[in-house]
Structure 1
Amino acid sequence: MKRSGPLYTLLAGLLLAAVMLSLNATTGTRSSGYGGGGAASASPAPDPAAPPGRTPAPKVPSASAAPTAPAPSASAPERVYAGRTDDDGAAVSVSVRDRRAVAYYCDGRTRESWLKGDVKDDGSMRLTGRNGAELTAVTRAGEITGEVAVAGRRQDFTAAGANRPSGLYRATNEVRGARIDGGWIVLQDGRQVGIVTRDGKPSAAPVLDPATGTAVVDNARLTARPVAP
């Protein structure tokens, strides 16, 4: 019985050592699963396409571009044409803007007519005036060619582009109780053709100063303005 005491002591010590080793192993396993150095908390691998030492910028989805509202279309510029009939008996001027046209036919003595109408997409036009006056023409290569009929007489004409002071002018006013209506065509070479009507009676128009737009009628100064549709 005396010899079995140390044996029991040795066995108890071995059993205690085994229990301690088991506890240490369990504690180490739990620490490795929840600690900062375990596989679950490992940092993600860097983007292989990114340069060494730089962190790639986060990708931001591109926003779709907002639709742009169309700009309002500007009014078409005015174009003025001036010329003479093929028989050189009269002058014709046409002013065009935004598919509208106004024309003036004048022989510088007694025959005149104001006409107006629309311009089609192909540049053709048919303008009409009082007493059956009519102008049919088409715009091509910077000039207008056509035919004008006034007071039963038909005449072909050609009118080229005109820049001010050339062009078409008109003045209306009352002078000494008389109604005055004047029209002038200033050709590209400076020549003028015009008629002033006093209470319905036509006569040759006085010279118009294109720089000031004025003319003297019956000792009174009359102001004429460029004509636009």
Structure 2
Amino acid sequence: MKRSGPLLTLLAGLLLGLFMLSLNATTGTRSASTSYREEAPTATASPSAAPSPSPSASKTPAQPPPVKSPVRSPVKSPVVDADYAGRTDDGSSAVSVSVRDGRAIAYFCDGHDTESWLRGAVREDGRMRLTDGHGAALTGTLQGGRRLRGSVDIDGGHHAFTADRAKKPSGLYRATATVRGAKVDGGWIVLADGTQVGVLTRGGKPSPAPRIDPATGVVTVDGRKLTAHPVTP
């Protein structure tokens, strides 16, 4: 009976050792498995890459609208087909000018014995220089089709004048005829106030012209009725 005691003790020790060995093996496996799962990186869904826009899909920057030049109103030429009549600055004479299609004819007279018929072209800017072929000259500039400002040089004298746009019956008139064998040539300037300034030449001798009827242009010269007509170039 005394010998069985140590054997039992030895057997119990062996069983305890086997149990501990089995327990350690099981625990190690679980620990390793658990450790592996904890250290493994968690899979995350990577954001899908946005597709790069194709060249054809890209928008072309909008081009700014073309800059339009401001519309400018055409500059009106001061050359207006019209008649102009007025006096010299000193009041001694009268001047009338008729403008048509870039040409002009003018008449200067003092109502006594000095007169001149002048002709020439009108420039696009309204300036003009008219001559009579005998040394007299008229230079002037149209001002917006309302007025003509200029001067007449004749027989050594210089006469500045202003002629406003004339409305009928104002303006320039002329009558030519042969009366009692003498050539008659008369010129008349009818001003806005009804005043008439003219010279009538009979046979080369100038004198003050008789009045004309502005409504009809009729004038009586040496007992004969003549008709003075408006003058245009």
- Aligned partner of 2:204 among 200, 207, 210: 200
Whole-angstrom CA distance in 2 between matches of 1:80 and 1:182 = 18
Structure 2: runs of 5 or more not aligned: 1-78
1:161 equivalent to 2:151? Answer: no
Task: Give the Cα–Cα distance (whole angstroms) in 2 for the partners of residues 190 and 200 of structure 1.
Answer: 28
Q: Please tell me the residue identity of whatever aligns with 1:177.
A: G
How does the TM-score come out when normalised to structure 1?
0.66
Match for residue 126 of structure 1?
129
Displacement of 1:105 after TM fit?
A: 0.1
Give the distance between the partners of 2:89 and 2:175, measured in 1 at CA: 27
Tell me which of 143, 161, 171 is aligned to 2:175: 171
Identical positions, percent: 58
Shift of 1:87: 0.6
Q: Distance in 1 between matches of 2:93 and 2:229?
A: 21
Alignment of structure 1 residues 93-104 onto 2, 5 Å: 93-104=96-107
The correspondence of residues 143-162 of structure 1 with structure 2, limited to 5 A, is 143-162=147-166
1:78: how far off? 3.5
Contact 1:80 1:93 survives alignment (8 Å) = yes
**1:145: Cα distance to partner?**
0.3
SS in 2 for 1:190: coil
SS in 2 for 1:120: coil
What displacement does 1:152 show?
A: 1.3
Counterparts of residues 1-229 of structure 1 (less than 5 Å): 78-141=81-144, 142-229=146-233
Q: Aligned-residue CA RMSD in angstroms?
A: 1.1
Q: With the length of structure 2 as denominator, give the TM-score of the two structures.
A: 0.65
Larger radius of gyration: 2
Residue type at the aligned position of 1:168: L
Q: CA deviation at 1:197?
A: 0.1
| Offset from partner CA, 1:156-188 (integer Å, 9 cap, x none) | 000000011000000000001000000000000
Cα distance in structure 2, aligned partners of 1:165 and 1:103: 17
Unaligned runs of 5+ in 1: 1-75
8 Å contact from structure 1 (residues 78, 228) kept in 2: no
> Aligned residue pairs: how many?
154
